[in-house]
Amino acid sequence: MSQIHYAVTHVRQEADRLKKMHTIPFSKLRIVRVSGLHTSQAESLQFVAQTTLPSSNGSNSPIQYLQDVLANINISNALNNTLNNANVNVVVPLTDVLNNDNIAIGQVVGVYVNSAGLVYTIAG
């Protein structure tokens, strides 16, 4: 829960960390859906996000910046997972991986990069 809270309240900082990575191995990507949270937890996250982040309207908003970064991140070895670890190294855009999980880029509300390099993509 603390990583989700951090991801939602430090969108620009985590987007900057992600931007430096350029390409992420599929094995280091995690997708977290916040819709499964209890109502009170989700409301708390929304309240924190609304009170600590500038408006999400406009090109200078943290969410827009995050979406721009996400659009330029690639995932390596994504096809290996689909082909039962066949030795095929194909790099695909992160947006394709998200779309494959029925997540539009606009549904991503934050990212969290931990010290081991795991990237948690937080989708609402």
Q: What's the pLDDT at 11?
A: 86
In terms of residue numbers, what domain contains 84? 2-123
DSSP string, 39-89: HHHHHHHHHHHHHHS--S-STTSHHHHHHHHHTT-EEETHHHHHTTT-S--
Taken in order 29, 23, 61, 97, the sign of the CA dihedral is negative
Single pTM value for the model = 0.72
Overall number of domains in the chain: 1
Report pLDDT for 40.
Answer: 43
CB 104 within 8 A of CB 114: no
* Per-residue model confidence as pLDDT tens digits over 41-75: 444 554 454 444 444 455 567 888 999 999 999 99
